A and B are shown apart, each in its own frame.
Chain A
């Protein structure tokens, strides 16, 4: 099935005009479209437009997720509270600074031990890569590709970090350089798909 066939099929499936009516792809998609539009669908029970209980559950969830002030509606601070609040802010500031120092120190300690990624091969057009920190590698590749003018997208599916990009062909040396830096083979059709996982047992 060629790309053109797929496009004709998609256009007919979406009900767009300007397709070759005699094409078997178009007839197939038209029949499918008609059947999908007329398929039996599950009809949910009628729900009330205004449902206080449902709204309250939404508001409670928004609070849990920090979108709304959790203390909203609680009494205002008394006069003796400002000093304590200031101390709380001062203490939490110190704690935050200590945490940041620890995290940076830990990251620096880990840095020399970071192993480079390993390309495990290409399956079905997808370059399989193993890396200790798949998310970090994904971000690095995306940034590097974008820096050389390639529109790269990141995604995550089933625990695998992925990068998609349509590389302009022929490959510019700068783009080729990014691929070589990560030992990623250049895709012959310019459609780059990379999936990164952590090594087994990590």
Chain B
């Protein structure tokens, strides 16, 4: 970071150090989100370039990895929102009312305690299918939800990640929930209603 701020020949060395320190961890994050190794390499490289461009905004008292990772996530969201990846959005409030009603009924029932390995496997397989469907239909929503789970992001952190106002962020969260209910309907049924 010091080299970035000072400029000069140390920059090349600093970029090499960034690559050595963070490539592996960022590449793994990227592959898990994008499922595309070539794009992942490209985006990690782009992240290092942005780190250099934004180094003036880095506060020396904070940790470097979370800051670099936040830059990567911005880039990932941009990529996921591109038209070639984007699937048509459901119109506002278009959640299937039957699904909605069923989920409400099911969620009032008990949390399942799978009795055997076969049932656990069935649940895991079903979740994976639903997750894939959700990820394909709403890639940015799926990515943000995974990051919320993995890092316990606060409202402010989500807002910063999305670059949106608190109100728009609340709406994004609401959309995540609505869309998840549609795509995970089969899993909810199995998990809460399977008995």
Contacts and interface: CB of A to CB of B under 8 A. Distances in A.
A114 interface: no
Given A44-B31, A61-B49, A164 B15 contact: no
A128 interface: no
A28 B108 CA distance: 9
Report the interface size class on chain A: 35 or more
Interface in A40-64: 40-47, 49-51, 54-55, 57-59, 61-62
Interface of B is mostly: helix
A113 interface: no
Interface string B139-159: 000000110111011110000
B187 A35 contact: yes
B24 A24 contact: no
Contact of B128 (A40, A67, A72, A190): A40
B19 A153 contact: no
B15 to A, nearest CB: 6
A6 B173 contact: yes
18 contacts: A3-B170, A10-B173, A13-B145, A35-B124, A35-B187, A39-B124, A39-B127, A44-B27, A44-B31, A44-B37, A44-B40, A55-B20, A57-B45, A59-B16, A62-B12, A67-B53, A68-B11, A164-B165
Interface of B: 9, 11-12, 15-16, 19-20, 23-24, 27-28, 31-32, 35, 37, 40-41, 45, 48-49, 52-53, 81-83, 86, 91-93, 103-104, 107-108, 111, 123-124, 127-128, 131, 145-146, 148-150, 152-155, 163-168, 170-171, 173-174, 177-178, 180, 184, 187-188, 191-192
Interface of A: 1, 3, 6-7, 9-10, 13-16, 24-25, 27-28, 30-33, 35-47, 49-51, 54-55, 57-59, 61-62, 65, 67-68, 72, 123-125, 151-153, 155, 157-159, 164-166, 189-193
